[in-house]
Amino acid sequence: MNKPQRDVTLRFLAEPQDVNFGGKVHGGAVMKWIDLAAYACAAGWSGRYCVTAYAGGIRFVAPIHVGSLVEVEAKVIYTGNSSMHIALEVNACDPKSLNRRLTTHCIVIMVAVDQNGQSEQVPQWIPKTEADKKQHASAVKLMEMRKQIGEEMQIFVE
């Protein structure tokens, strides 16, 4: 296997088929792009097939217009035994003016699985730069917060 790749960026044009009733790109389309980028990032890091275990903290900061050049950036910010925590950012711009702006961001957790859907070990990512260390620490903090949210939400799934 090649050296694990920490990040990936998908680049494409928002097409008319992605539009919602308000004339902007549908939130569901953005979430699909995010899932695809998270998968490509996790697969590139682990060299394995991966599934989405969690997606959260999504914030739609600004709408995306049809015809925009969209960039979905995904990067590993934490690895567990089989999980990869991935920070995603979606930026868009008019391809004529290249006035790039943030439209959406969130966190996705992907898990590497074998052919039977059992979780498999992934290479560990070790933060090196100050920015990496901050993001890693934030991922650990978010894990704790999700545990509390999960416990609170238990009444809705029983």
Ligand X SMILES: CCCCCCCCCCCCCCCC(=O)SCCNC(=O)CCNC(=O)[C@H](O)C(C)(C)COP(=O)(O)OP(=O)(O)OC[C@H]1O[C@@H](n2cnc3c(N)ncnc32)[C@H](O)[C@@H]1OP(=O)(O)O
Distance, in Å, from the CA atom of 117 to the CA atom of 101, rounded to the nearest integer, reads 38
Neighbour-count burial of 52, counting CB atoms closer than 10 A to its CB (0-12 exposed, 13-18 middle, 19+ buried)? middle
Residue from the set 8, 64, 72, 111 that interacts with ligand X by CB under 6 A: 111
Q: Does 47 bind ligand X (CB under 6 A)?
A: no
Q: Residue 122 CB, nearest distance to ligand X (Å)?
A: 8
With respect to ligand X, which residue has the nearer C-beta, 19 or 143?
143
With respect to ligand X, which residue has the nearer C-beta, 43 or 93?
43
Chain residues 83-102 in contact with ligand X, contact rule CB under 6 A: 83
With respect to ligand X, which residue has the nearer C-beta, 109 or 139?
109
Distance, in Å, from the CA atom of 134 to the CA atom of 82, rounded to the nearest integer, reads 22
With respect to ligand X, which residue has the nearer C-beta, 24 or 108?
108
Residue from the set 4, 54, 66, 105 that interacts with ligand X by CB under 6 A: 54
The answer to whether 127 and 133 are in contact (CB under 8 A) is: yes
Assign 3-state DSSP to the chain and report helix, strand, coil percentages, each to 5.
30, 35, 30
Q: Can you give the binding site for ligand X, defined by CB under 6 A? A: 35-36, 39, 49, 51-54, 80-83, 109, 111, 113, 117, 119
